[in-house]
Structure 1
Amino acid sequence: MTDTQLGALIIAGGFVGAVYAYNLWQEYRYKKQANKAFARNQDDVLINTPKNMVRQGDSQRLEPVLVGAAAGEDHEVAQIDEDQYAPSKIRYDEDMPDDIPDLPPSYHLAYASEPQYQPDVAGYTPDVALDNAELDEIDEGYPIADEVQDTPALSLIDSTLDFIAEIESEQPIMASDLPPFPASKRVQIIGLNQLSQWEVVNTTSRNRYQQLRIALQLADRQGPISQESLNAFYMGVQQFADEQGASVVFPQKSAKLAAAQALDEFCASVDVLIGLNLPAGARPIPMEKVRLHAEQIGMVRANDGTFQYRNAAGKLLFVLANQDQTPLMATSKGLTLLFDVPRVPGGLPVFDALVDFAQSLSNSLGLALVDDNGKALNPQSLANIRTQLAELYERMDERGIVPGSATALRLFA
């Protein structure tokens, strides 16, 4: 071998080494940028929902409000103007936040009743079953094998609510190999195991999967998924598939971004928190009397100091709290009853039970139920509010979102 040939080999080897080093540096830089932008997965909102989560927005919360402020006037219920809605609704999860947030406008029923109260919920079925039909509408791009259609894990993702990436690999992928994908919202991963059954993928397990579905939720009470967040998730999943030598199929990003915006706008239009307020008069409200009244209908004192009314399945229906957001003590300067419309199963019968209890408590304490402006509401006003709630429930039903269902709980979280 001549010196010229040896020199050429050395130069060629140096060039190849430089290209390889440059590729390694590019890969390191990409990983660092993606991890910096979105450091961790979003917790499962059905299990570890952060407390005091609110939709972001600069405007006031839009609740059903009342007009006709003159003394003695019948109050009318204003219709919700969706164009003016700012997504800033307060949420109350089933564990209830330690701090009660600012309260929304509230409603009052002025007719009389006996102090002894038993809620009439004859038409209410506490354990509202999730309608699986709302979770079975899968896009053509996500076929499901007949033998695994009824696997419970499949109901945890939905092409109408999630951006779903499908991974298929010739070599089974270890659950422990899955990285924390960049995400600003809920990520759910399911895999087809060795028994040809779809199951939730736990990264601490030793299972292997030849197919994976990685779903990023499109919207929640924080708003719709952003293009930047979706791009980071997309690249993270693509890189993982490349590392595993697997193929991956994605939905069209632009279509999913539009779907996320539309979904968020719909959720914002039905995202209503109702409060019924009992301000104290000249003297503070004695909480011992309130406690007896609350326990009479089955309300239970929670660790955060509120009284909570739950159904037989443990689902939170409504809450009795201090109007000033502090824990309930021996006395109170004002009380409020809270009803988170999209998260409560049972619908109008539960609202009726809430109103009956609020009216009974009002009579027992000799206090008026008022809105946030201190204006009392008459029976007709409350009937109008109930009608408006019925319209909200009808719209949710048309959209296939059952109040209090798993779908509602993760959208309104």
Structure 2
Amino acid sequence: MTDLQLALIALGALIIIAVVLFNWWQERKLHKETESRFVEPETDVLMDEDFRIDPHTVLRGDKREEPEEEEFVVRVRIQDDEPAPQVAPSYAAEPSLSVEEPEVKAAPAISESSVDQAPVRIDSAEDVAEEEAPAVYASTAASDLPPEQEPVAPAQSEEPVVNLGSATAPWDEPAAEPEQADAPESIALPADVDAQIDLSAILYLPRPYSGAALRQQFLNFSEIDKPVYAFGLDAFREWHLLTREQEQGEFTRCVCSLQMADRSGAVSREMLIRFQNAAEDIALNLGAQVEWQGAPDPLVYAQALDAFCIEVDKLVSLHIVQGSNGPFTGTKFRGLAEASGLVLGNDGAFHYRDEQGHTSFSLINQDSNPFNADMLRTVVIKGVVFQLDIPHVKNCTEVFNQMVLAARQMSHSLNANLVDDNYRQLTDTQIDRIRQQLKMLHAQMITRGIMPGGQTAARLFS
């Protein structure tokens, strides 16, 4: 082994010995501290010769101070010659009692012996506090009397005092509620009013009013920039829009409704407050009660409704532009349009209508000049546009397919090009993509409760 190894072994041994010695010293120090804290007593009381136990004291027991017993109240009733009141049996199930207090008469002088013989009842303080009726006294049992005395029987065996003649005390009877005025009969809104888009005020008139008088009141709504409708309920419980034709009729109810949004935006705070104040003023002038029907916060609801309209209010456009042959004549264009089922309307556009006469899609001039019969005889057209207004069509997918078919046939006959809004050629893939988007928008409107192509949609998207 080298010197380095021997030195390391020696150093390790010294460290171990030092640790052992340090532990021994710590243990010895702790042991001494423990002995100093717990000192053994010098004497043992049980081993002392002077210590003894007195058995007589243990058996007799020292008289200790007893705890205070519960306070009792002693009531004494002296039996006189007059018999005690009778107890009327009660079969009432209700806890309310009608209590009759017995008549108290002056008693003669009482001797000590008579007190001893009198029937006594001892009630605790808690029982006394709980009693609401006059005190009830009972005769004592024979076992409670001293052995040398005979029990004194009361005048009557029943326990008297409480007369349960009525199941309900007079003061417990519920007070008659004041008669309330008859609430106005709830009625349904007119069919033309939709809670989805309207804020309505129902006026319950105190007496029938003529249509002319009501129309005169509704002049307050003239400064509101959103559509306001007024309806009257006649004696046959039918609603009528208050037009000039209804001025001679009489109405017992009327409804004022404000459309909260349209394509121009949501109703403003100023217009909403003006409508509400006007309706309240009309009710005050007519002595009518007002019932509001609509959203709890009309302004917030109107803004949310407007945001929904912006999301689903889409217009599908298919453009037919001149091709290699140049512009096409108006006469040829009109013949092709009428052959596809489109009819020229007074607004200067061709319309394809359904069985109910509603417009499914339209065909307009690309340069925004309206069509008319005289113009189409001499004009040369560079392009036309097929348009489908999604919210106004019930079955937008079917109508879209009809419009695509008519546009393809016309473009082929005019030797023109069928393009989108960006004037890019329309392919079958792009058309299928548009068709899927139409289905999504249609589903959104139905989920909102606004049916595409319905009356509410026609008002909202106008």
Deviation at 1:311, TM superposition (A): 1.4
Gaps of 5+ in 1: 1-141
1:288 corresponds to which residue? Answer: 331
Distance 1:144 1:161 in 2: 21
1:181 corresponds to which residue? Answer: 220
Pairs within 5 Å for 1:13-412: 144-145=186-187, 154-178=190-214, 179-182=218-221, 183-203=224-244, 204-251=246-293, 255-281=297-323, 283-328=326-371, 329=376, 330-412=379-461
Q: Which moved more, 1:251-260 or 1:367-376?
A: 251-260
Distance 1:251 1:345 in 2: 28
8 Å CA contact retained: 2:197, 2:261: yes
Residues 168 and 144 from structure 1, CA distance in 2 versus in 1: closer, same or farther, beyond 3 angstroms? closer
CA deviation string 1:268-318 (max 9, x = no partner): 110011111111135211222222221112211223432221112211111
CA deviation string 1:313-344 (max 9, x = no partner): 21111111211101343320111111111112
Gaps of 5+ in 2: 1-183
CA deviation string 1:47-85 (max 9, x = no partner): xxxxxxxxxxxxxxxxxxxxxxxxxxxxxxxxxxxxxxx
8 Å CA contact retained: 2:420, 2:426: yes
Residues 197 and 307 from structure 1, CA distance in 2 versus in 1: closer, same or farther, beyond 3 angstroms? closer
CA deviation string 1:219-245 (max 9, x = no partner): 111111111001111111111111112
Deviation at 1:165, TM superposition (A): 0.7
CA deviation string 1:344-380 (max 9, x = no partner): 2332101100001111111112221112322112110
Distance 2:235 2:347 in 1: 45
Residues 143 and 276 from structure 1, CA distance in 2 versus in 1: closer, same or farther, beyond 3 angstroms? farther
1:119 corresponds to which residue? Answer: none
SS at structure 1 position matched to 2:195: coil
Residues 247 and 267 from structure 1, CA distance in 2 versus in 1: closer, same or farther, beyond 3 angstroms? same
Residues 349 and 163 from structure 1, CA distance in 2 versus in 1: closer, same or farther, beyond 3 angstroms? same
Deviation at 1:170, TM superposition (A): 1.5
Distance 1:188 1:394 in 2: 29
Residues 253 and 342 from structure 1, CA distance in 2 versus in 1: closer, same or farther, beyond 3 angstroms? closer
SS at structure 2 position matched to 1:373: coil
CA deviation string 1:155-200 (max 9, x = no partner): 1112221111111122222221222232221112222212233332
Residues 239 and 295 from structure 1, CA distance in 2 versus in 1: closer, same or farther, beyond 3 angstroms? same
8 Å CA contact retained: 1:272, 1:340: yes
Residues 305 and 253 from structure 1, CA distance in 2 versus in 1: closer, same or farther, beyond 3 angstroms? closer
Structure 1 letter corresponding to 2:231 = I
- Bigger Rg over Cα: 2
Distance 2:358 2:235 in 1: 35
What value does the CA root-mean-square deviation take over the aligned residues?
2.2
Distance 1:357 1:252 in 2: 43
SS at structure 1 position matched to 2:318: strand
Structure 1 letter corresponding to 2:353 = R
SS at structure 2 position matched to 1:181: helix
SS at structure 1 position matched to 2:191: helix
SS at structure 1 position matched to 2:450: coil
SS at structure 1 position matched to 2:417: coil
8 Å CA contact retained: 2:230, 2:241: yes
8 Å CA contact retained: 1:173, 1:208: yes
Residues 241 and 144 from structure 1, CA distance in 2 versus in 1: closer, same or farther, beyond 3 angstroms? closer
2:160 corresponds to which residue? Answer: none
Distance 1:302 1:198 in 2: 33
Deviation at 1:251, TM superposition (A): 4.8
Structure 2 letter corresponding to 1:181 = N
8 Å CA contact retained: 1:191, 1:209: yes
Q: TM-score of the superposition, structure 1-length normalised?
A: 0.61
Q: Which moved more, 1:295-304 or 1:319-328?
A: 295-304
Residues 260 and 358 from structure 1, CA distance in 2 versus in 1: closer, same or farther, beyond 3 angstroms? same
Distance 1:394 1:252 in 2: 24
Identity %: 34
> Higher relative contact order by CA 8 Å / sep ≥ 6: 1 or 2?
1
